[in-house]
Structure 1
Amino acid sequence: MIKIYRKTATIEAEQFDGSGAMIDKYGIEPPVMLSDGNFGISTLEGEMELDVGDWIATGVNREHWPIADDVFKKTYAELPVIPKVWADTIEEYKANHYRLDEIFTEWSWNYDEQELIARAWLDGYQVEAQHDTRAD
């Protein structure tokens, strides 16, 4: 019987632009050019082809591998960006073993915020960049 699975690991990814900075960052030194003009990147499985526009994924053990742009866009979604106060609330509720629904009874959320909070609770999130508003 076929079962359906979803990926559960969070990765970091960056779209490869072919620049020297990215070649250095991902350890392609000296730059490896394959016979058809494409780059090669060392992975746990050996050398793999990497085209400009592909994504370089970084796994939980800091390993890298290429993902074609079309495959990446079908497979991955960027984690939501939420304000620090929301992130702190999620972490507090999780640490105190509250259920997800309890966060909605304590705060007044509109529908879009509820969906974003639920996604962040379940899948993870990025914290919105803090801006220093102090006058110099």
Structure 2
Amino acid sequence: MIKFYRKTATIKAEQFDGTKQSADQLGLFKYRGGWYLETLEGSMLVSNGYWIATGVNGEHWAIADDVFKQTYAELPVIPRVWVDTIERFKANHYRLDEIFTEWDWNYDEQELIARAWLDGYVVEEEHD
């Protein structure tokens, strides 16, 4: 029986813009006129627009832009107060729906909180 799976690991990724500066920043090297990335499987040709991903163990691989956009979604950026609330609710074994009865959230905030709860998040930088 076929089973369906989703990716659960969070990765870091940066898009290659074809410049030497971007190549240097991403650890690419030039060979026979093309840019290459050293991966666990060997050297991989990287084209302009490809994404360089870094996995949970520090490994790198390149992903074509169209494949990247179909496969990955950027983590939501949320304020520290929301992070504290999510972490407090999770630590006290509350269900996700209980966070919405405790606070007065609008629809867009509810969707963002749910995504952050399930997929992870990035903490918004505080501005002085």
Which AA in structure 1 matches 2:82?
Answer: W
Q: Identify the residue that residue 90 of structure 1 maps to in structure 2.
A: 86
Normalising by structure 2, we get a TM-score of 0.92
Give unpaired runs (5+ residues) of structure 1: none
Give the unaligned 5+ runs of structure 2: none
For 2:119 and 2:113, the matched residues in 1 are separated by 10
| Corresponding residue pairs, total | 128
Aligned partners of 1:32 and 1:41 also within 8 Å? no
RMSD over aligned Cα atoms: 1.3
1:70-89 alignment runs, 5 A limit: 70-89=66-85
Question: Deviation above 4 Å: which 4+ runs of structure 1?
Answer: none
Cα displacement (A) at 1:24 = 2.6
Displacement of 1:48 after TM fit? 0.9
Identity among equivalent pairs (%): 72
Q: State which of 30, 33, 36 in structure 1 corresponds to 2:31.
A: 33
TM-score (norm 1): 0.87
Matched, 1:12 2:12: yes
| Aligned 8 A contact 2:23 2:35 in 1 | no
Partner SS for 1:65: strand
